[in-house]
Amino acid sequence: MRFRMVRRKALALLVVSLVIGTLLFSTRVLFLSDPETTDPISFRDSHVSQSEEMVKLNFASPSELADSVLNADYQQFVLNADRFPEEPQLVLVVQVHNRPDYLRLLVRSLESAAEVQGFLVIFSHDYFSEEINSIVQGITFCKVIQIYFPYSTQLYPDSFPGPDPKDCPRDAARDQAVRSGCLNAEHPDSYGHYREAAITQTKHHWWWKMHFVWERVGAVQGYHGFAVFLEEDHYLLPDFYHHYRAMAAYRAASCPDCDVLVLGNHKVPDGGFGGHSDRLQTASWESAKHNMGLALSREVYYKLMGCNEAFCTYDDYNWDWTLQHLSGTCIAKPLKVLAALGSRVLHTGDCGLHQKKKEEPCRPELAARRVEEVLQRVKGSLFPASLSLSGGEKVEHRPHVKNGGWGDLRDHVLCKNYARRL
């Protein structure tokens, strides 16, 4: 009996590996072949000059859209490269889904940011539309690259990694699922629930984007600074770059063991910064406190890459809670954060993956109004002359109760394969 069970699991793993391998090969994430040769090539040499035509997406069908997404990732067109030929002073990476009104707010904040002409902003998309492309491609004030998550559920509307009709219903009991023969009957999450494609996508996108930016985007290969990771519903204050540069200098001089910089927090400065505009704090990485305006170096990226297996198999559909788990487990020395107490990143989103009441519509006009009110209150406290440390917490592993949603073996295998060529 035990031999039959082991053989059954081994066969299941083999089938999943074959499916994922086929998927990876079809999207050419492991090897991309130049149309003129059969030799594998690197994305490092693939970005094109400003004089070449901007890559366009083909929305005629999911398969044609998938092909154009791959072509765009191969070409890596650098918008405004002729206008700003210098090497970037700061790389920003924005994860974009499908909230164009909030994306417009973010772009507006970028345009108002001091010294924005030195930025390279990489927009990483998992939803593809002409409206979103037009917002990004309308940027004229800095260099821009768009990359596209090639495993978006939009590209796989009826098969993994999208929702497959043969998948088990989320709330099916395991014994019922096994009897029904649904595809993932043997792999519910820690709470007995089966995968929801829309829920798994954000973590997949975040991990793919991390690998792709550091290893595949040609314009980043000679860059030695931090990359700041943002989302479409974030808003940067005008002195964002000033504050980043001051934090990086403080770290170099006074906190060389600080692993990451965090420029944002969820404390809305309704009455101004409360005396914290120029204050910093050291702490352990915590998801709820440190997931906005996260600045990572290439060295920390390599630490994360060493935890590929742990990241991709931990049963939590949130990238940030997964990162908190890794800090102090797979990453033996817990990640030490240098955080701005006066947030330079505002969170504008009032709807999305964690929206409490799904029936309520998004209200970007209210978000825009709140942003203007905050800007008026803090404008006298921006651009501090220097920064100082107001205190520090003990740096230690912060355990938490995992959220589940990441029990499907197919998600594990696909996630691990993003780094297979690295």
**pLDDT, tens digit, 9 for 90 and up, residues 333-369:** 999 999 999 999 999 987 755 444 555 667 888 999 9
Whole-model pTM above 0.75?
yes
Q: What secondary structure letter does DSSP report for 266?
A: S
Q: Which CATH class is domain 40-154+197-417?
A: alpha beta
How many other β-carbons are positioned within 10 Å of the β-carbon of residue 51? Answer: 7
Q: Is pLDDT at 239 greater than 90 in this prediction?
A: yes
Q: Residue 248's closest CA among 226, 281, 233? A: 226
108 contacts 238 by C-beta, under 8 angstroms: no
Dihedral pair phi/psi, residue 337, rounded to 5°? -105, 135
Across residues 18-26, what is the average pLDDT? Answer: 54
**How far is the CA of 254 from the CAs of 45, 242, 247, 249, 344, in angstroms?**
37, 18, 10, 8, 21
Across residues 107-118, what is the average pLDDT? Answer: 98
Instruction: Report d(CA 248, CA 380) in Å as an integer.
Output: 23
- 73 token code pair: 């990732």
Q: Mapping DSSP to helix (H, G, I), strand (E, B) and coil, where does residue 235 land?
A: strand
Q: What is the pLDDT of residue 382?
A: 96
pLDDT band at 54 (very low <50, low <70, confident <90, very high): confident
